[in-house]
Amino acid sequence: MAGEMLAAVKTDPAPGATKMMNVSKPKPGPGEVLVKVRIASICGTDVHIYKWDDWAKARIKPPLIQGHEFAGEVAELGDNTTHVQVGDYVSAEGHVACGTCYQCRTGQSHICPNVHIIGVDRDGAFAEYVAVPEENIIINPANLPLEMASIQDPFGNSVQTVFSADAPGNFIAVFGLGPTGLMSIALLRAVAASKIFAIGHVNEYRMELAKKLGADHVLKASDDLESMVLRETGGRMVDHVLEMSGSPEAFNQGLKILRPGGGMHVLGIYADPFVVDVSSDIVTKGIELYGIHGRRMYGDWYRMAGLLTSGKLNLKPIITHRFPFEQFLEAMEVMKSGNCGKVVLFME
Amino acid sequence: MAGEMLAAVKTDPAPGATKMMNVSKPKPGPGEVLVKVRIASICGTDVHIYKWDDWAKARIKPPLIQGHEFAGEVAELGDNTTHVQVGDYVSAEGHVACGTCYQCRTGQSHICPNVHIIGVDRDGAFAEYVAVPEENIIINPANLPLEMASIQDPFGNSVQTVFSADAPGNFIAVFGLGPTGLMSIALLRAVAASKIFAIGHVNEYRMELAKKLGADHVLKASDDLESMVLRETGGRMVDHVLEMSGSPEAFNQGLKILRPGGGMHVLGIYADPFVVDVSSDIVTKGIELYGIHGRRMYGDWYRMAGLLTSGKLNLKPIITHRFPFEQFLEAMEVMKSGNCGKVVLFME
Amino acid sequence: MAGEMLAAVKTDPAPGATKMMNVSKPKPGPGEVLVKVRIASICGTDVHIYKWDDWAKARIKPPLIQGHEFAGEVAELGDNTTHVQVGDYVSAEGHVACGTCYQCRTGQSHICPNVHIIGVDRDGAFAEYVAVPEENIIINPANLPLEMASIQDPFGNSVQTVFSADAPGNFIAVFGLGPTGLMSIALLRAVAASKIFAIGHVNEYRMELAKKLGADHVLKASDDLESMVLRETGGRMVDHVLEMSGSPEAFNQGLKILRPGGGMHVLGIYADPFVVDVSSDIVTKGIELYGIHGRRMYGDWYRMAGLLTSGKLNLKPIITHRFPFEQFLEAMEVMKSGNCGKVVLFME
Amino acid sequence: MAGEMLAAVKTDPAPGATKMMNVSKPKPGPGEVLVKVRIASICGTDVHIYKWDDWAKARIKPPLIQGHEFAGEVAELGDNTTHVQVGDYVSAEGHVACGTCYQCRTGQSHICPNVHIIGVDRDGAFAEYVAVPEENIIINPANLPLEMASIQDPFGNSVQTVFSADAPGNFIAVFGLGPTGLMSIALLRAVAASKIFAIGHVNEYRMELAKKLGADHVLKASDDLESMVLRETGGRMVDHVLEMSGSPEAFNQGLKILRPGGGMHVLGIYADPFVVDVSSDIVTKGIELYGIHGRRMYGDWYRMAGLLTSGKLNLKPIITHRFPFEQFLEAMEVMKSGNCGKVVLFME
């Protein structure tokens, strides 16, 4: 039916509770555009909502269509749009910033305190159509493959993290081998980090992927990292640590293998506060620590387009599973298992 | 007697245990110069050694002449010196770096892992003469007052901390009103921070000094800082926090009053590891945190000379007590009381 | 009459050709707000248009109401505005950026190649009312004096220039003692530059003002600058040069007095291309040179508000002449003479 | 004979005038080490001296052994050395800095105004042995190939230039396809610049090499660069220009193809001052321009070691000619022809 579309709807405040169903096609409001979704990918955040964990309980108000990683074509323009055209090949930044706070007015809208997130606070892209503010629309290069276009939102996390460090020719450790950690490894490889140490936990599938994407050394958190890093860096220790695991142990281990004057770049989210040896591990070593959230709007997106179309970055192995949108629930189960990289859904 | 000098000697591994006595005048070794000390000041570190706390027990090997803040005249040159001359009016950087490690070879010798500290690991300046590597010698501008010349080492801590932040026209909070915190306040005043919030604990003497040196708001840690800062910054919160108290509560309070995207600059040393809410207070707010140690060698010293001779910085009130060197033990008691700013000793 | 207002209208493409006359009060378009102007100040650009020089001939399409430096109250809101309120005390950024180009989308809208300038490309503030895009509106702090609020646009040029340098405790030279150079001197004074060298040409009035605003040494371009700077900096030469004169001789003189590794910060506009000794004066000395245009949108505005309300910056002497708006043509003559700082007009 | 060695000696102040002859083996002075040279490479500077151009006439005092690019083994230690050992596999930084000036004391010794250059101001490495200050010695990683070890000094120029820009994912143009330009292209390729535009003049050999080393587009200065770059960057123009040609036309062309807010990175040396359109090409576009000289001591050397041993940088094609040291004069003729990349000499 013309006014309807297929969507994956989180119907109730409970684990799972997601149904493939027909709903009304959204109308783009003033300043918004309607995108016909051609591909979407599943984020770890989507799994949190699916599982209905504590964070989800506090934040999510069902019914909700999730999904903020996608690409498609502009199908319709709302009032007062200025430059996007029907037919444009687009993706979108998932953070809808307020535009008027100190952060938004000074180039830091990625940490706008009034942010609304697509697929979290408003309906998202696990559907045939999604309405998005024109401001958030990214016009993709014509030669950007659909799968790469879809994963730009999470890849943007890797981009912000990696470029907050000084990687080329330096020693870098990555803790956490989820998709963001894995894409960071591919990026570190692409910008010629001297040695990339990838530290995982127990998931052999992802440790294998880390190797494939360019890690020089793939280790377990239970290994004697300090001795190993000391030896492999000629006594210098690593110049930067990217903490993407969300594990307090990894955070503290990361600080231990960092050289004096090194950088700690933290994208991981921790379930609870935890103990840090601030004096010995940060202050007297002169460490710089960066909290990383989202993607720089929109510098990181331009850089991504440049990287993804350059032929100098090999991100393909990160896409490990492809499903037609109708099999959304199966795709979600694969994500839950952890035995995957990025999982993508095709709407057509 | 020609070959002897008066010195304050920590004679034994015990609290106090410091005697004013005659000892042999040191001979400058190769690459060293001998300085006739005219003024010296007492650092918090000196109090730790005097009190013989756990840190001191682990690090200090009596007998030791303490003291690393001083000014004087070059009296004698060792072999192989290159540019310092007898009669030069000098002070010295207290950190003797190795010169050959990664840090030393890349402009970060202030965090050299092989550092030796004057007055801690080798004899220092609480004496009529002190031998110092020529590399560490700072030739003072002729118009730099003796008292200002003496306190450059600790003022350099303030300089490194303040200039790791972006203070002019911004909102800044300083936790900890010891001499380094107080000098930071004077410096923030001198570079036109918009509002300076000084947060102390219980010491009224130092809260009074904070006001005198330029703090716009002097508060107690027990005040409702968040509400107060929210109101005084028009809802923005502070742009930078300088944590100089060494108190875990201050550290965490500091993170709470920081705006998203703000900077946390930590010079404080904490007795023990402590709990930090890394996710909420650092990661999702996009905070940058800097561990600060020592002084940039020697960029911070050049900047200090420029500031101290400019007439645009009012650091004078920080010198609250003056003693002849012979009354060293009395001076130390004043320092222990905490009811002081900087305490200086005159050798002549 | 209710629908009319008094305005200074450049009526024809000719020198002068400006009339005080009643015109229709503008209506704010969608996304715009109407400001009741209370004060406006005259920019050097306004003088160029008044004199009808080559630049003006190529750019300006009379009839035009000039003026982009002002403060006032919001009188009316157009459609689709979001956060500004009627009655707000405001000023405005004069550059209306396109919002969609690479520069605008990456925090560099101050150099948007599609910019339109208020009072240059669209009607401005030499009138009782001016319509401005809400995006460009700056809500002023309530305690910001009217005269300071009016001159923020040009002061923002000084702010961007000064903060592209590292002034505190360093040696700085300012070439060009027009209002932007003079305000830079006041700012350098406020952030404790060690020595400020102000280099003018022939205008004694402005050299006097430079001294009043905080210059340590006021010199003429015809003086032997190199010897003087060499002596006053102890052989180091200056760390940064701010070139605000628009004179090729000053540009090249500036490079000569810069130390190796120093910074050259150029806001001046030159009538023609000119000869530069790139090898000797820039390359082998490792100089960094910054072209400065406009004001960072809107970081520089927040910093300005912080500075101007801090009580730590003395900008008052820069306002040398005050006129009621009706005497606009007399005010313009004072500006043409050059014997002034900023000239302000009061609309009420 | 034990005390003699073979050397290429510039014997007289005239073109050519270089003889292969036996001379006394140098003795390392205090703080120096003697290196047995195993490989050396010829720099453009060496060709200038060989040809005896105006610069050489003013600077060089024959007799002189040239050569500052080399690798070898430490054969003997002078007095007062501290950490280098006999047998170490080493190269050396060619700039012998004074160690006591403002630049040397603040991490900028690469632009020390009192520098002496090995093979220019003191005897160099076109010989079986060369004496070098221990401070300048770089201990090479054991797995660094000899040919790569030899070319680190000029590669360091490329490293400093490329890392003064922000290349990954961005559009970069390189003017000048001499060895330094060519190595920059390889480096830009290694760090995933999005598109690399290489602009040469007439030398087909080097344009071929540029392609081989990773340039995406190889152009001639006479091509319509502006239209081409406009099209290939989607209207944005390039983000950074590396000017390595020493041609005034290239410098000005480079500024024209730079986007507003872009960076101009100049290593080229120009025979004479020349005309620049500072207003239109630098100031109003908000360009940042960096003069680049030498290599950061020693951060660039550490980064180089990291890059050269990473396996992620393909610099091999740059070495186009290999000669035994005895054929030095033939090697010099190849360099003069320009139909080459780097030319290396083997001493054994």
Which tens digits make up the pLDDT trace of D211-255?
999 999 999 999 999 999 999 999 999 999 999 999 999 999 999
pTM: 0.97
- The share of chain A scoring above pLDDT 70, in percent, equals 99
The mean of the pLDDT values for chain C is 97
The predicted structure's pLDDT at residue C204 = 93
Which ranges of chain D have pLDDT less than 70?
1-2
The predicted structure's pLDDT at residue B39 = 98
Q: Do A260 and B288 touch (CB under 8 A)?
A: no
CA dist B209 and B213 (Å) reads 6
Could you give the maximum distance between any two Cα atoms of chain D, in Å? 67
Residue A143 with chain D: CB contacts under 8 Å = none
Q: Do A102 and B293 touch (CB under 8 A)?
A: no
Quickly state the pLDDT bin for C321 (edges 50, 70, 90). Answer: very high
Nearest residue to C250 via CA among C141, C177, C309: C177
Cβ within 8 Å of D, A 229-258: 234
Using DSSP's 3-state secondary structure scheme, residue A249 falls into helix
| pLDDT reading at A309 higher than 50 | yes
The predicted structure's pLDDT at residue D202 = 83
Give the pLDDT mean for A282-290. Answer: 98
Question: Which residues of C does the annotation mark as catalytic?
Answer: 45, 48
The predicted structure's pLDDT at residue B334 = 97
For B245, which DSSP code? Answer: S
CA dist D275 and D248 (Å) reads 8
> Do D10 and D62 form a contact (C-beta atoms < 8 A)?
yes
Could you give the maximum distance between any two Cα atoms of chain B, in Å? 67
Residue B99 with chain D: CB contacts under 8 Å = 82
Using DSSP's 3-state secondary structure scheme, residue C190 falls into helix
Quickly state the pLDDT bin for C36 (edges 50, 70, 90). Answer: very high
The predicted structure's pLDDT at residue B291 = 98
Beta strands in chain A (DSSP E): 4-10, 18-24, 32-41, 64-65, 69-77, 89-92, 95-96, 116-117, 129-133, 137-139, 171-175, 195-200, 217-220, 238-243, 258-266, 274-276, 288-291, 319-324, 342-346
How far is Cα of residue D305 from the mean position of the Cα atoms in its chain?
Answer: 15
- Contact of D328 with chain A, judged by CB distance below 8 Å, is answered with no
The predicted structure's pLDDT at residue A216 = 98
Continuous segment of H or E residues that includes residue C63: none
Q: Do B80 and D302 touch (CB under 8 A)?
A: no
The predicted structure's pLDDT at residue A202 = 83
Those chains having 3 or more beta-carbon pairs within 8 angstroms of chain D are: A, B, C
Give the pLDDT mean for A306-327. Answer: 97
Nearest residue to C184 via CA among C94, C69, C267: C267
Quickly state the pLDDT bin for B258 (edges 50, 70, 90). Answer: very high
The predicted structure's pLDDT at residue C202 = 83
| pLDDT reading at B107 higher than 50 | yes
Residue C283 with chain D: CB contacts under 8 Å = 266-270, 291-293
A52-108 tens-digit pLDDT? 999 999 999 999 999 999 999 999 999 999 999 999 999 999 999 999 999 999 999
Min distance B170 CA to chain C CA atoms (Å): 6
Give the pLDDT mean for A3-17. Answer: 97
Quickly state the pLDDT bin for B275 (edges 50, 70, 90). Answer: very high
A110-146 tens-digit pLDDT? 999 999 999 999 999 999 999 999 999 999 999 999 9
CA dist A180 and A231 (Å) reads 27
D2-56 tens-digit pLDDT? 699 999 999 999 999 999 999 999 999 999 999 999 999 999 999 999 999 999 9
Residue A302 with chain C: CB contacts under 8 Å = 102, 105-106
Strand duo B319-324 + B342-346: pairing: parallel
Q: Omega into D28 within 30° of 0, i.e. cis?
A: no
Residue C261 with chain D: CB contacts under 8 Å = 103, 106, 108, 111
Q: Do B106 and D298 touch (CB under 8 A)?
A: yes
How many CB pairs lie under 8 A apart between chains C and D? 122
Sign of CA dihedral B291, B292, B298, B299: positive
Quickly state the pLDDT bin for C348 (edges 50, 70, 90). Answer: confident
Q: Do C169 and B141 touch (CB under 8 A)?
A: no
Q: Do C293 and D287 touch (CB under 8 A)?
A: no
Beta strands in B192-334 (DSSP E): 195-200, 217-220, 238-243, 258-266, 274-276, 288-291, 319-324
| pLDDT reading at B297 higher than 80 | yes
How far is Cα of residue D228 from the mean position of the Cα atoms in its chain?
Answer: 29
Nearest residue to C348 via CA among C330, C323, C311: C323
Quickly state the pLDDT bin for A201 (edges 50, 70, 90). Answer: confident
Sign of CA dihedral C268, C269, C272, C273: positive
The predicted structure's pLDDT at residue B1 = 47
How many CB pairs lie under 8 A apart between chains B and C? 69
C-alpha gyration radius of chain C: 20
Give the pLDDT mean for A320-326. Answer: 98
Cβ within 8 Å of D, B 15-34: 30
- Closest residue of chain C to D283, computed from CA coordinates: C291
Give the pLDDT mean for A228-243. Answer: 98
